A and B are shown apart, each in its own frame.
Chain A
Amino acid sequence: MNLFKKKQYVPITGSREGAPVVPDGLWLKCPSCRKAIYQKELGEFKVCPNCSGYFRLSARERLALVADEGTFEETDSGMASKNPADYPGYEEKLRKTSEAAGSNEAVICGFCEVCGNKTALAVMDSHFIMGSMGSVVGEKLTRLFEKAVEKRSPVIVFSASGGARMQEGIISLMQMAKVSAAVKKHSDAGLFYISALTDPTTGGVSASFAALGDVILAEPGALIGFAGRRVIEQTMKQKLPDGFQTAEFIMDHGFIDKIAERAEMKDTIGALLALHRGSCDGAA
């Protein structure tokens, strides 16, 4: 569940809940320096030309930066949420979000090659109900890890999530257990898992599969943490230290292996996959 709204992706015109893909010619406010940036200046990595801060990527944009061109085969693309907890207005929210985001859920899963290495790949999308994990996200990820065991394939997961999906209630909480158990199965089969944390990775996602990679990478400046800043400020009754819950803070405290710039993320993953080729028969 997301309690933070620190960095928001704010189109200057159009709706706040707008799609990540914006029409040409739109100006966007940088989430880091707040300067208005002409969107064509951002380039494929979506880096602010003024402050080098990152704009959030949609799952499709991320996929294009990571998977070798033309190699991605999506799995479970037709899976969609129901309303298991009869949460008022949830179907409507799902419908509107799907239309705006151009995808039917907060994660895209599949198999592809990265720098010529075969791998399973999941990419979350913070534009879809804050990338929250409900039944569909949990099921798609679980199936991906299970299929990866069958194919003896490594798995890469790009997290971008505010946590568990409130609207599906306790069943969302149970997804944390379900996916974590699937990660363990994959690990016990001797297979390699890279968890790549992007802005934001918080709540129930930070407390399940995102924290369980053999190698954990992160993008610079990404918000990573379990509890919401406002909740912590309330309970501690003190201001939070500078840089609290950033990728750099989390690395200083020993919870991630490496911070990789967006432009070097693919090569970093490619190098790690190559180092594990022998352990994953299906990845030759």
Chain B
Amino acid sequence: MTDPAPLLEVRHLRVEFPTRRGRLVALDDVSFSIAPGEVLGVVGESGAGKSMTGAAIIGLLEPPGRITGGEILLEGRRIDNLPHEELRRIRGRKIGAIFQDPLTTLNPLYTIGRQLVETMTTHLPIGPAEARERAIGWLEQVGIPAARERIDSYPHQFSGGMRQRVVIALALCAEPRLVIADEPTTALDVSIQAQVIALLKRLAREKGTAMMLITHDMGVIAETADRVAVMYAGRIVEIGPVREVVKNPRHPYSAGLMASIPPLDRRVERLAAIEGAMPRLSAIPPGCAYHPRCPRILSRCAVERPELMEAGGTMAACWLYHRHD
């Protein structure tokens, strides 16, 4: 084995929410790893548990949600059981987070420049003057025009897409080892998206930053990720190299997801959509959680839960790939 030791390792992660009506299992037996310099794409329908996986890793699960099983290792060291203060320090120094909603990350009362400068002076051995120069550089790298003129703007003076780019600059400026990017380019148009994606890839390649890229944009996944994990109802249902998962998905859910991407080269009357919705956590079907929506259902699917199994190029949690030997 020549694989480098993983930078991030998640083993059998389980997250639960205690509620009045009993415990809800939001993540169930989630395992994966990311090597230094590797980009793992995470896709799946709303509510599949993508953001929750990211939040568990950075220790920002919203209470009463909590980790009830498994472990999370960063550079070989467990971080899921650290005291709050220590985790906060590691988060600031080693993990950069880009969240779905830029407004929750940016402080509306401070200028963009001040927020960037404070983040850098807290985590890097540099003074405010150098931090300000670097801040301008980061804003330019994420494609903010006239960065030097606009660094003293407040968040509300930027358009939605520009705010999102500021959030990206903020997450990267302290040079983290692991970046968790939750829908980082969703609010961006294609040209800026290309620029931001190129920046993220360059960071992974040149600085060996490991990246967990959560997005529903398959185009972004196709050109950025090395491997892809597809999540459904709190579990990984398929994981494998990007080419395999995007071009030749094995799991029926992955296949449905790929088919619902609107085509660019023609207009269709109705888009292919997976009928129905993902189950609520309180009503996850027995057996394979996808069985009520699955066009290829087998008789055992409603009673026995499939684990990830070899599916010829990827690992898929689906009985179609079960070999009797």
User: Are the chains A and B members of one assembly?
Assistant: no
A residues apposed to B, CB below 8 Å: none
